[in-house]
Chains A and B, each alone.
Chain A
Amino acid sequence: RKEVEQDPGPFNVPEGATVAFNCTYSNSASQSFFWYRQDCRKEPKLLMSVYSSGNEDGRFTAQLNRASQYISLLIRDSKLSDSATYLCAVIKTGANNLFFGTGTRLTVIP
């Protein structure tokens, strides 16, 4: 079983739409959670860390559900510039390295 699983999409949504991505992780001892954004032919860039209480940054909201072992990312009022691949990543307790999901491709359509 993979450490982290994501729906690869693609998600094609119109501008202004709200879209949500989920990501499940297999190891209950995972301690840190992140969402990264990766544009085509670029490196992943950290979008948000995900905290137990949930956190929001403008149009982006990240949530963690430890009981069900998933994290989510909600994007409100989608912009064309949000088109990218969104990768979730987790760190297991006692480790430092990231385990990445396969990424979810989002295309925002005019």
Chain B
Amino acid sequence: SAVISQKPSRDICQRGTSLTIQCQVDSQVTMMFWYRQQPGQSLTLIATANQGSEATYESGFVIDKFPISRPNLTFSTLTVSNMSPEDSSIYLCSVEGGVTYEQYFGPGTRLTVT
């Protein structure tokens, strides 16, 4: 499976600010995704990061709040904008492994908004 890294691994931010999270993969992948895991809960998909076009957002998530870039097949960023304490969560990127639809996750970014 691909090796996936995320930066930063954790951050503490003030409300009203924005944070950009980076996801780097060691091989080219077609499908990249961004998930959120709120404390004590399961994972929820935020959006699919499409290379060369706008991201596809799930219901309840909007581009103004979570802008995503995907400049190439090995890299993506997720920005959490105008943060509030409710945005405190773990943000994870994932990639699809290939024909079997299996997904592999990065180590996550633990965000705390004060």
Interface residue ranges, A against B (CB under 8 Å): 31-32, 34, 41-46, 49, 87, 91, 96-103
CB neighbours of B103 from chain A (8 A):
34, 46, 98
Extra contacts, 20 of them, besides A31-B101, A46-B104 (Cβ < 8 A), are A32-B100, A34-B102, A41-B110, A42-B107, A42-B108, A43-B106, A43-B107, A44-B92, A44-B105, A45-B105, A46-B1, A49-B100, A49-B102, A96-B31, A96-B96, A97-B33, A97-B48, A97-B58, A100-B43, A102-B42
In the complex, residue of chain B having the shortest beta-carbon distance to the beta carbon of A88: B42
Q: Which of B1, B45, B107 sits near A98, CB closer than 8 Å?
A: B45
Q: How far is the CB of A88 from chain B (nearest CB, A)?
A: 10
Judge if B53 is at the interface, Cβ distance under 8 Å: no
Contact indicator A32/B92 (Cβ below 8 Å): no
A41-B110 Cα distance, complex, nearest whole Å: 9
Contact indicator B48/A43 (Cβ below 8 Å): no
Q: Which of A31, A46, A102 sits near B102, CB closer than 8 Å?
A: A46
Q: Which of B43, B45, B58 sits near A44, CB closer than 8 Å?
A: B43
In the complex, residue of chain A having the shortest beta-carbon distance to the beta carbon of B43: A100
**Total residue contacts A-B, CB cutoff 8 A:** 48
Known: A49-B102, A96-B101, A97-B48. A43 touches B92 (CB 8 A): yes
In the complex, residue of chain A having the shortest beta-carbon distance to the beta carbon of B103: A98
Interface residue ranges, B against A (CB under 8 Å): 1, 31, 33, 41-45, 48, 58, 92, 94, 96, 100-108, 110
A11-B104 Cα distance, complex, nearest whole Å: 26
A101-B96 Cα distance, complex, nearest whole Å: 19
In the complex, residue of chain B having the shortest beta-carbon distance to the beta carbon of A87: B42
Contact indicator B31/A98 (Cβ below 8 Å): no
Contact indicator B48/A100 (Cβ below 8 Å): no
Contact indicator B104/A101 (Cβ below 8 Å): no
CB neighbours of A49 from chain B (8 A):
100, 102
Q: How far is the CB of A78 from chain B (nearest CB, A)?
A: 23
| A-B residue pairs in contact (CB < 8 Å), sample of 10 | A34-B102, A42-B107, A43-B108, A45-B105, A46-B102, A49-B102, A96-B101, A98-B43, A98-B94, A102-B42
